Amino acid sequence: MPPREEVIVVGNTKVHLLIGGQGDPLLVLHGAGGNRGWRRWMAAVGEHYTVYAPTHPGFGRSDAADWMESIDDLARFYLWFLDVMGLSKVHLLGHSIGGWTAAELATMRPGVIDRLVLVSPTGLKPDEGEIRDIFFYPPEELLEYTVHDPTTVPEWAELFGGKPGLEEIEGALRNREMAARLTWKPYMFNPRLAHFLPRVQNPTLIVWGREDQIVPLICGEQYRRLLPNATLRVLERCGHLPPIERPDVFANLVLDFLRRA
Amino acid sequence: MKLYYFSEMPHHEFPDAEGDKYPSLRLAFPNTFFSPEIAHRNYQRYLDEYDFADQAGFDGLMINEHHSTPSCVNVSANMTTGILARTTKRAKLLILGNILPIQENPIQVAEQVAMADLISGGRVLSGFVRGVGVESWWANTNPVHNRERFEECHDLIIKCWTTPGPFRWEGRHYHFRHVNPWCLPLQKPYPPIWVPGTASPETAVWAGRMGYTYVPFLVSFEVARELFDFYRQGAAEAGRTVTPDKLGFLICAVTADSKAKALQAGRNFVWRMGPTLRGPLEYFSPVGMRSRAASQFALKARSVSLSKMSYEELVENYYIVAGTPDEVVDRFARVQKELGIGHLLLEAQESRMDHATTMRSIELMGKSVIPAMTRI
């Protein structure tokens, strides 16, 4: 089923939302790069689940939320979002800062989540190494660190191949500004999160790219250790964007995991 | 027109080829190239030059602050001002300025500026700046809050100087339960406030609204006039009349006994036009620091980057003034005529300009240029 676009209001904030597919609800929270639209992996997962893919406040065409300060603000916002949508229980999937948001949300109200999928999430301070400072690099250089091998990315041309128009440039700038607003200090982690993660008993799938140059793989191992029911799957020849770099493998991993519910 | 002496206190005693290996001299160039022995000598020298500028008759001494860069190792404007407050006798001490958005404790800034004002006998001019992006990285202050923090920090400092303590401050970015600084400025209600500008129309409008002295740095006459128009717009909103005393301008300048010597010395300013500003946009203007209006204005204001201009073009277009005292007087008079300003700030030492050249320039300014300025 093709996705439809909706605008819903949470508090005073209008949020753009893609809804597609059929089946039990799966809420998808995007990363710092913004909502990349209805992607190939979503279409595959959407054959069995209804995918809700909102654009975070401050990102893309959603309303600004300059009052927000941190990722746990965003997590609380999505708890409210679920209330507004009338979704009492969802599978929750988040990528990068969306994964961090999903993890925070799970620590706040684990009962609202069925199964949890964390894809290359930020949120924890690496035991070794550092999370790359994404705000320190020009976007084109950052993309080189983000994707392992562009030639293997099926949707590369569509996502990154063209020269961006004014609207896209403005959108990318908004995305970066809001990501900076939420993650600047401590950079990309919450020192308290590790203490709350053991509360999350939900079955959790953690997915990481072996070649991730943004968030070190060791963070995946830390999440696995801290979450009582978590499995870590590492994709070879893959960077920080598993859903984009390996869409078919990724979709199958997600489907296999969710079907066990 | 009043003249101000300014040195960035550079630390340019390293091979340029080493600096070229890194994305920028700011943030990225390792401090293994910093020499404490050289810096010790430099600080003594730079402070001597400031003292001499006071003796030579400059109306003011401008003091600034940067971080993580060899282009300016004056890492504390207030510390330098405290020293000069004691060693100089008559010049105004223009702190331009305290970088407000990166401050964690505005009350301490209020105290330090007040203390310098007290030591100097009321000679401080208190500049407030937003800083370049490098300073936000240095302090790890979120650049998306830069303007909000600038204004809130300013508001709290002014309140410290105008409202008897103790009082409480609960803002968005600053929270203090017991504000009661036991150090207040000699000048009442507080030292004159100055604000620099390079590209932000909002800052110019704000400075005009507040009635502060506004100083564009190293821009073309055309851009300076546009910024002054924004300033006047803000002043008009607040019902203020703009006098030349509220407008300043900053350029680089050196004089010498011959034109050839001055032009040779002036080449030292090229370093600050290019190599020290080289680097990714993200270093200088991190995400969220500039508004869309400021970004667009910056593109226009710097349609031709200073680094792309030849030395001759920089001289031709008044970014650098280098000549005999008579020539310098003529050039300064032209600047005043073009912009209608009351203050001309001279970056008068830079890069590898040696002590003797700097001192001779200060001496000649004092003998021949400053007296002529009283007629302009």
What's the rounded Cα separation, in Å, for the pair A81 and A86?
A: 9
Hey, is the C-beta of B143 within 8 angstroms of any chain A C-beta? yes
For the segment A13-23, the average pLDDT, to the nearest whole number, is 98
How far is A95 from A207, CA to CA, in rounded Å? 9
Q: Is A140 on the interface with B (CB under 8 A)?
A: no
For chain B, which domains are there? 2-373 (3.20.20.30)
CB A138, CB A226: distance < 8 Å: no
Structure confidence by residue, pLDDT tens digits, A56-91: 999 999 999 999 999 999 999 999 999 999 999 999
A181: chain B residues, CB-CB within 8 Å: 142, 144, 288
The pLDDT tens digits for B6-51 are 999 999 999 999 999 999 999 999 999 999 999 999 999 999 999 9
Does the bond joining A186 to the residue before it have cis omega, within 30 degrees of 0? yes
Helix (H, G, I), strand (E, B) or coil at A243: helix
Q: Which residue of B has its CA nearest to A141?
A: B280
| Residue numbers of chain B with a pLDDT score lower than 50 | none
The rounded distance, in Å, linking the Cα atoms of B288 and B129 is 17
Query: Using the beta-carbon criterion (under 8 Å), do A180 and B286 form an inter-chain contact?
Result: yes
Q: What is the mean pLDDT of chain B?
A: 96
Q: How far is A169 from chain B (nearest CA, A)?
A: 12
Kindly state whether A138 is in contact with chain B, defined as any CB-CB distance less than 8 angstroms.
yes
What's the pLDDT score for residue B290? 87
Query: Span A119-145, mean pLDDT?
Result: 97
pLDDT at B303: 66
Per-residue confidence (pLDDT) for residue B295, from 0 to 100: 79
Distance from CA of B280 to the nearest CA of A (A): 7
Residues 6+ positions from A67 with CB-CB distance below 8 Å: none
Core vs surface per residue B259-286: b (16+ CB within 10 A) or e: eebbbebbbbbbbbbebbbbbbebbbbb
Phi-psi region of B33 (alpha: psi -120 to 50; beta: other; left: phi over 0): alpha
- Global pTM reads 0.96
Is some CB atom of chain B closer than 8 A to the CB atom of A136?
A: yes
B188: its two tokens? 């009442």
Q: What is the pLDDT of residue B291?
A: 83
E strand segments, B298-364: 320-323, 343-349
How many whole angstroms separate alpha carbon A238 and alpha carbon A235? 6
Judge: A138–B286 Cβ closer than 8 Å, yes or no: no
Whole-angstrom distance, CA of residue A102 vs CA of residue A84: 18
Are A176 and B281 an interchain contact pair (Cβ–Cβ within 8 Å)? Answer: no
Band (pLDDT 50/70/90 cuts) for residue A95 is very high
